[in-house]
A and B are shown apart, each in its own frame.
Chain A
């Protein structure tokens, strides 16, 4: 039987390295290419950082659960937290071609995630707040 593909850590910056290591190790075990593993780690870093910095604002921070769900032609990465829910909003994509001084300082997290993942969705239910990231293999 496969090892548990869930890991849960406190919503602190220390968790980021643990999550990266978990993704790297799991991808290796599943025979997933290094470049995909790296993209998953990058997306996880961006998403988890957002939760750590904003999701638990004003609270005694709770958990972030990271779950990998491998499928035949894709791998799904599910990040769950129990902090304040976010609300998906439409905004213009950041202008990455702008001069450094003219670029906005925020808004790049999801941009990077969209660049590396094939599907991105977000929802809240009684199990918590879920960011679902899918990468085709």
Chain B
């Protein structure tokens, strides 16, 4: 029986170090947690069987792609999972322009041997594309986080997109995150973490059951400051197209204002947020009650 709880000085590894497994180990313990590096060390066909669970068959069916072969209708899913790497990237790109991604999912082993969701993109191939990823000099904007293409961002916003979106979404985040839970359970893993790129993506992940490792207090503060009398509400002064007085009412409106740097009015920046989803559990966090997207 312990009588006190003392803060630990170092963060412990959450599972053993990832390494190639012998057949005996594979067969021996279905509860042994697998990392991305361990799966990547398998022969190509074996790792593709694992990674196939990450892609919702509905998404592939909608585009006329065979869910087993990962190709069809002129499309081809790409799997990048080098055997000496702890990262996997699955992508579906525009066959005529490989830099134009329709679907991307990237997972990586992290420093405590947990699994991070680095990137999830779900762009409707049939929706209009907005050139927010290149600025007017043709330099990559990294979804508007390094530099910005204000003209294209404004067009995207008026078309109903959230910051960092180049096209309207496919409306399949729920299906992809469900498949991610299935994949994690298959690997005997219990959670996945991520860093939300925008306020809108944090809200979406929250709605899908994620909690906050860091930044829950900031999300609450943002909501509070967008209420009447709040500093963010007052800063919605129409000084840029992204700070319209109505922006506080919706997730997207707030997200564009935050993308435009409005958090400086409360001495904050959009950084250092981290979220976690426990497999099979919905955390029921709610930082924007009764939100309208």
Interface residues, chain A, with chain B CB atoms under 8 Å away: 4, 6-12, 50, 54-55, 57, 59-63, 65, 82, 84-93, 107, 110-111, 114, 120, 122, 124-128
Contact = CB atoms under 8 A, between A and B. Distances in A.
29 contacts: A4-B284, A6-B282, A7-B284, A8-B211, A8-B216, A8-B284, A8-B285, A10-B212, A10-B287, A60-B214, A60-B215, A61-B214, A62-B212, A62-B214, A62-B216, A65-B211, A82-B212, A82-B214, A82-B274, A84-B7, A84-B11, A85-B8, A90-B2, A90-B4, A107-B4, A110-B5, A125-B14, A127-B190, A128-B278
Nearest to A119: B1
Contacts of B7: 54-55, 57, 84-87
Contact of A88 (B2, B114, B189): B2
Interface in B81-140: 112-114
Task: Summarize A's interface: helix, strand, loop or mixed.
Answer: mixed
A134 to B, nearest CB: 13
B272 interface: yes
Count chain A CB atoms within 10 A of each CB in B112, B217, B219, B276 and give the residue with the most. Answer: B217
Contacts of A107: 3-4
Interface residues of B, number: 41
Interface string B1-21: 111111110011011000000
B2 A63 contact: no
Contact of B211 (A62, A87, A110): A62
B278 A62 contact: no
Given A60-B214, A60-B217, A127 B3 contact: no
A110 B284 contact: no
Given A85-B11, A125-B14, A10 B190 contact: no
Given A10-B220, A12-B220, A84-B7, A60 B284 contact: no
Contacts of A122: 2, 5
B56 to A, nearest CB: 24
Contact of B5 (A10, A12, A50, A126): A50
A50 B6 CA distance: 10
B285 A63 contact: yes
Contacts of B286: 8
Nearest to A7: B284
A88 B184 CA distance: 29
A26 to B, nearest CB: 13
Contacts of B114: 126
B218 interface: yes
Nearest to A54: B7
Interface in B173-219: 189-191, 211-219
